[in-house]
Chain A
């Protein structure tokens, strides 16, 4: 089975990289890009039967820094 973890900066935490991407899109002529937030996607190949709670534990302990980041887990 596979889990996909999406890690994003929390709402309200300034994302300077996203902001730089927004500027670059503007200078390429793309109009109307009001905001860009940049995060990361982590794909995990897991033993069958691994629970969502186990993946959340991985997020809390390593994959995300919950001081500044939030995460979402999708199992497939």
Chain B
């Protein structure tokens, strides 16, 4: 099973994300933002956290228009899997692969701490290894994680079970406590918290490891 992890200027979680994929058993290729194609046979693309292009204009806005993102959109269009974490979620929202936008945290503070979330829907390759309604703890580290969308979009996300993760105690003012959402075909997941930072006992937790192993298992079955 093959994963590609993107790197933009200012990405800083790309290596951690690659390690998390590798640890789960993926064959990982690192891909530079100026590349215009993904390696042959990639199953999942990881869009990492960080501060791509210095968060200039809007978080993720410049990265969303980088050459590699056309290839990522094509990959998603073919039913490929995409995982966007933190800045990666912002990038996916900016490309339109996921609805809504990530705004400045409501209290204007950079929030950096472990947060508890509920697995609101385990019906995706990413979260199938968790029990529905399970509580998990991943760290967050962001200034712009305040998920915002109009009421129609939020109703649709809720109605279609596309809210994947919801904060137990909202750290950033997100609409409806949303921490992570799925695309319509449930193959694109964007989330502000960092599962790749909790995949080893030395990290202080291993709650994130299940996400990567679930994804691998889903490919093994398919």
Contact = CB atoms under 8 A, between A and B. Distances in A.
A16 B107 contact: yes
Given A62-B65, A67-B149, A68-B103, A17 B108 contact: yes
Given A62-B65, A65-B58, A13 B148 contact: yes
B14 interface: no
Say which size band chain B's interface belongs to. Answer: 10 to 19
Contacts of B101: 65, 67-68
Contacts, number: 34
Interface residues of A, number: 11
A7 B105 CA distance: 19
Interface of A is mostly: helix
Contacts of A14: 103, 106, 173
9 contacts: A13-B148, A14-B106, A16-B104, A16-B105, A16-B146, A16-B173, A20-B108, A65-B94, A67-B100
Given A16-B146, A20-B108, A68-B101, 14 more contacts: A13-B103, A13-B148, A16-B103, A16-B104, A16-B107, A16-B108, A16-B173, A17-B104, A62-B61, A65-B58, A65-B94, A65-B101, A67-B99, A67-B149
